[in-house]
């Protein structure tokens, strides 16, 4: 396919233009704030940790190393902060999030880990007290730890304190509503079951218990007011704060789950403050034209319209990951590619690559990974663009797929926290040979391939420390593999930090001078209260983020 030259206009911003901007800032604003952190450990680009100090301004990292030398070089106008024993890392970059979905979760009550009826009610009561302005009590529950007992309105009526309540089971196939919500929905003793759903009733009285199955859930769900744009903006800002609290300086956000119109929500939320989380947005592959048009418009400095994302397959848990050979537990099943028209899909990816935007393809099974690599190989061989070509998840490849990732444009975007849930499922569904290559992070790194880490929030915890610990220990949640699930794929903490910081910072259309602690780099920093590189690996998540800085400005101070 011949490509018109206008599709090559989106060249990454060059380092020299960034430098020019920085110099202008220093000349024009001599009194810009400078910060010096001393008595800290510094995570160096070679993966070692050094004791010393670091000074930075909104323009760059001014100096780091020996405390006295740093003080001298930094000069006056310094805010000096002593952080005895803290660890300064290049800022965490989450390479795979869904911010708006996560933002919604922040205003919902999470009852998935609740172990008793009493705890269930108490948590709702406390949540209502903590969130007086929210009109509905929404959230999720699981009965797995409740010993199979199902919640009903008797658990929630008093605790919800007069507010309507609607809580879905984690699998979204049933929900519990309280008396107020059922009143709003008009559900009573004589309400018939809707087709495809059931209103569970007390066998003695015939009164609805509050439990609604399948389509009966919509009776209440349809009555929940949708959020206004300004509420969504506020939620997104809350999500930025949450991200700063867990040490994130940037995220690679996948936007396709939201509506394209929600771009304005991002725009408004991101332009309200100059300093803060940087959001590299990826939109659906189908929206490539809209993305290219949006790139010509002025955008807030914190918003980077980065690229597109496409789906090749589903997930292992739902047997929709696309495999080369049948599933071990079901020999008739190989999963399904979720591509309507492979030819059109391939063309779409090629156009996106040629247009200079980042391409991210969701591929979990080995067949899906192989298909993504085939298209990417063509893009590289034919010189279509220069931006990163990423495989999201990269969970269950074969040996040949691991080897094929060794190219500077290719990135395996892995969410190590998912392996904590997946270990048992993978053994059962893939069998031992294929399961042994699941999440092959060490094999990839040993071959010099680029690995970047992310959380997949809201599906998993946003906290990067959870992902770091998962990559270093590989101990699953069910503790079926206490010594680590395929421990030969464990990596060192320095390698894990690199995947969540320096390398992740490069997997974007516009690589900034950021991601490493060296002079002249942009000061995106995450400061932990302790040195996680020297403590037992299963204690990593015990560390606390005490400071987050983006572009040299402290955006979170949790000391």
Give the range of 121-129, 267-275, 308-316, 448-456 binding Zn ion by CB under 5 A. 448-456
Q: How far is the CB of 358 from Zn ion (least distance, A)?
A: 15
Q: Around 491, how many Cα atoms within 13 Å sit in the side-chain half-sphere?
A: 24
Give the range of 236-244, 451-459, 511-519, 531-539 binding Zn ion by CB under 5 A. 451-459
Q: How far is the CB of 258 from Zn ion (least distance, A)?
A: 12
Give the range of 203-211, 452-460, 461-469, 540-548 binding Zn ion by CB under 5 A. 452-460
**Cβ distance 90 to 546 under 8 Å?**
no
Q: How far is the CB of 363 from Zn ion (least distance, A)?
A: 12
- Pairing verdict, β 92-97 and 49-56: unpaired
Query: CA-to-CA distance for 453 and 493, rounded, in angstroms?
Result: 13
Q: How far is the CB of 434 from Zn ion (least distance, A)?
A: 22
Q: 545 φ, ψ to 5°?
A: -80, 125
Nearer to Zn ion, 60 or 456 (CB): 456
Nearer to Zn ion, 164 or 464 (CB): 464
Nearer to Zn ion, 364 or 514 (CB): 364
Query: CA-to-CA distance for 100 and 136, rounded, in angstroms?
Result: 19
Query: CA-to-CA distance for 372 and 367, rounded, in angstroms?
Result: 9
Q: How far is the CB of 320 from Zn ion (least distance, A)?
A: 14
SS3 string of 238-301? Answer: HHHHHHHHCCEEEEEEECCCCCHHHHHHHHHHHHCCCCCCEEEEEEEHHHHHHHHHHCCCCCCC
Q: How many residues bind Zn ion (CB under 5 A)?
A: 1
Give the range of 139-147, 202-210, 341-349, 455-463 binding Zn ion by CB under 5 A. 455-463
**DSSP string for residues in 66-129:** SHHHHHHHH-SSEEEEEEEEEEEEEPEEEEEE-HHHHHHHTTSEEETT--SHHHHHHHHHHHHH
Nearer to Zn ion, 249 or 455 (CB): 455
Does 94 bind Zn ion (CB under 5 A)? Our answer is: no
Nearer to Zn ion, 456 or 476 (CB): 456
Question: What sign results for the dihedral spanned by CA atoms 115, 120, 122, 124?
Answer: positive
Give the range of 15-23, 176-184, 420-428, 454-462 binding Zn ion by CB under 5 A. 454-462
Give the range of 2-10, 108-116, 287-295, 456-464 binding Zn ion by CB under 5 A. 456-464
By beta-carbon distance, which residue lies closest to Zn ion? 456
Q: Measuring CA to CA, how many Å separate 392 from each of 72, 203, 253, 378, 396?
A: 45, 49, 12, 19, 12
Nearer to Zn ion, 52 or 335 (CB): 335
- Pairing verdict, β 197-201 and 358-363: unpaired
Question: Which of residues 456, 461, 498, 529 is near Zn ion by CB under 5 A?
Answer: 456
Query: CA-to-CA distance for 500 and 58, rounded, in angstroms?
Result: 22
Q: How far is the CB of 282 from Zn ion (least distance, A)?
A: 10
Neighbours of 530 (CB within 10 A): 17
**Cβ distance 309 to 254 under 8 Å?**
yes
Q: How far is the CB of 183 from Zn ion (least distance, A)?
A: 37
Nearer to Zn ion, 507 or 546 (CB): 507
Q: One symbol per residue from 400 to 439: x for binding Zn ion (CB under 5 A), - otherwise; what is it?
A: ----------------------------------------
Binding site for Zn ion (CB under 5 A): 456
């Amino acid at each position: 396919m011949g490509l018109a030259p206008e599709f090559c206009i989106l060249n990454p911003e060059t380092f020299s233009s960034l430098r020019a901007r920085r110099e202008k800032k220093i000349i024009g604003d001599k009194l810009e704030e400078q910060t010096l952190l001393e008595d800290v450990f510094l995570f160096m680009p070679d993966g070692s940790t050094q004791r010393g100090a670091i000074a930075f301004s909104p323009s760059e990292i001014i100096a780091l190393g020996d405390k006295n030398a740093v003080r001298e070089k930094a000069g006056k106008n310094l805010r000096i902060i002593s952080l005895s024993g803290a660890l300064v890392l290049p800022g965490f970059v989450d390479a795979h999030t869904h911010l708006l979905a996560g933002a919604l979760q922040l205003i919902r009550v999470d009852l998935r880990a609740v172990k008793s009826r009493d705890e269930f009610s108490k948590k709702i009561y406390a949540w209502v007290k903590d969130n007086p302005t929210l009109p509905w009590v929404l959230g999720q529950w699981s009965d797995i730890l409740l010993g199979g007992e199902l919640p009903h309105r008797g658990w929630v009526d008093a605790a919800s304190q007069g507010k309507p309540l609607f809580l879905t089971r984690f699998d979204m196939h049933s929900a519990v509503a309280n008396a107020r919500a059922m009143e709003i929905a008009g559900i009573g003793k004589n309400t018939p079951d809707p087709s495809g759903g059931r209103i569970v009733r007390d066998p003695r009285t015939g009164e609805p218990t509050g439990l609604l199955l399948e389509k009966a859930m919509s009776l209440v769900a349809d009555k929940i007011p949708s959020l206004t744009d300004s509420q969504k903006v506020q939620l997104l800002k809350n999500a930025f704060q949450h991200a700063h609290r867990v040490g994130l300086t940037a995220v690679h956000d996948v936007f396709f789950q939201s509506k394209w119109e929600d771009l304005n929500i991002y725009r408004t939320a991101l332009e309200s403050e100059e300093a803060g989380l940087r959001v590299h947005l990826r939109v659906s592959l189908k929206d490539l034209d809209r993305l290219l048009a949006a790139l010509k418009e002025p955008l807030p400095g914190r918003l980077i319209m980065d690229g597109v994302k496409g789906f090749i397959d589903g997930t292992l848990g739902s047997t929709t990951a696309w495999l080369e050979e049948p599933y071990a537990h079901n020999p008739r099943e190989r999963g399904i590619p979720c591509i309507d028209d492979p030819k059109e899909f391939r063309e779409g990816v090629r156009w996106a690559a040629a247009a200079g935007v980042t391409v991210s393809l969701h591929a979990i099974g080995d067949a899906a990974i192989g298909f993504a690599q085939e298209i990417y190989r063509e893009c590289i061989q034919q010189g279509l663009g220069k931006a990163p070509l990423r495989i999201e998840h990269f969970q269950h490849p074969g040996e040949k797929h691991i080897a094929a990732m060794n190219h500077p444009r290719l990135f395996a975007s892995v969410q190590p926290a998912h392996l904590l849930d997946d270990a048992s499922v993978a053994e059962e569904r893939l069998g031992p040979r294929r399961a042994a290559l699941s999440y092959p992070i060490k094999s990839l790194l040993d071959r010099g391939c680029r690995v970047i880490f992310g959380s997949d929030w809201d599906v998993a915890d946003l906290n990067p420390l959870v992902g770091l610990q998962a990559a270093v220990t590989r101990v699953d949640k069910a503790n079926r593999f206490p010594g680590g699930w395929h421990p030969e794929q464990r990596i060192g903490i320095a390698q894990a930090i690199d995947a969540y910081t320096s390398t992740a910072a490069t997997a974007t259309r516009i690589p900034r001078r950021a991601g490493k602690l060296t002079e002249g780099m942009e000061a995106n920093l995450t400061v932990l209260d302790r040195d996680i590189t020297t403590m037992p690996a299963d204690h990593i998540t015990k560390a606390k983020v005490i400071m987050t800085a983006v572009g040299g400005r402290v955006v979170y101070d949790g000391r």
